[in-house]
Amino acid sequence: MKSLVLRLVGPIGLGIALLAAAPDVAPAAERLAAENAWVPWAPPAIRVHAAYMTIVNRGDEDQAVVGAESPDYEHVALHVSSIRQGMSEMQAVDRIPVRARTQIALEPGGTHMMLINPKRVYAVDDRIRVVLRLQSGEKVETSAVVRRRGQGNEPAAPHHGHHR
Ligand SMILES: [Cu+2]
């Protein structure tokens, strides 16, 4: 669904003006896309959710996501999970680099976004807007679908047991 990936360059009018002025230069936000975004459904008592997606850099320049926000949450953080001494731990990171012509999977047990303090209650199949901030200052918007965690090898419990 291409319409889920939007360019956000200041006011819409300005974005159109920039496009018209420089048709040969695709803005960073058009070369970076956040695809297949999803948020595992959690009961309302859980105030910290994860967001997973694939960040695709189709451009010739390295990019980096340096932050994110969502109108549906108070705060969004970038996190990396790892297993240490048999325990799942996670750490906040400043940036998620996405090298030219590569993609990065944000997935359970690895890099992910942490959505903190939801502003509403979600049901399965709801959509959550997430806006990625790029190093260039540009923004990439994506729409994450609320899904139940798969029955595959993902843990049934949220991986956020060690979150402060
Ligand atoms: Cu986390």
Tens of pLDDT, residues 51-105: 999 999 999 999 999 999 999 999 999 999 988 888 889 999 999 999 999 999 9
Range picked from 21-25, 65-69, 152-156 for highest mean pLDDT? 65-69
pLDDT of residue 88: 86
Amino acid at 39: V
What spacing in Å lies between the alpha carbon of 75 and ligand 1's midpoint?
A: 12
Q: For 18, how many CA atoms within 13 A lie in the half-sphere containing its CB?
A: 14
State mean pLDDT over 126-139.
95
Distance in Å, CA 50 to ligand 1 centroid: 6
Tokens at 13, concatenated = 């009018």
Residue 95 CA, ligand 1 centroid: distance in Å: 14
The CA 83 to ligand 1 mean position distance, Å, reads: 13
- What pLDDT, on the 0 to 100 scale, is given for residue 102? 97
Ligand 1 centre and the CA of 2: distance in Å?
Answer: 28
The fold of 28-163 is: Immunoglobulin-like (2.60.40)
Mean pLDDT of 103-119: 96
| Structural domain spans, the chain | 28-163
147 pLDDT above the threshold of 60: yes
Q: Using the mean position of ligand 1's atoms as its centre, give its distance from the Cα of residue 22 in Å.
A: 39
User: Rounded to 5 degrees, what angle do the CA atoms 109, 138, 112 make?
Assistant: 5
Among 14-23, 49-58, 87-96, 124-133, the least confident range: 14-23
Ligand 1 midpoint to CA 18 (Å): 36
Give the pLDDT band (50/70/90) at residue 16: very low
| b/e per residue 42-62 (b: at least 16 CB within 10 A) | beeeeebbbbbbebbbebeee
- Distance from Cα 129 to the centre of ligand 1, integer Å: 18
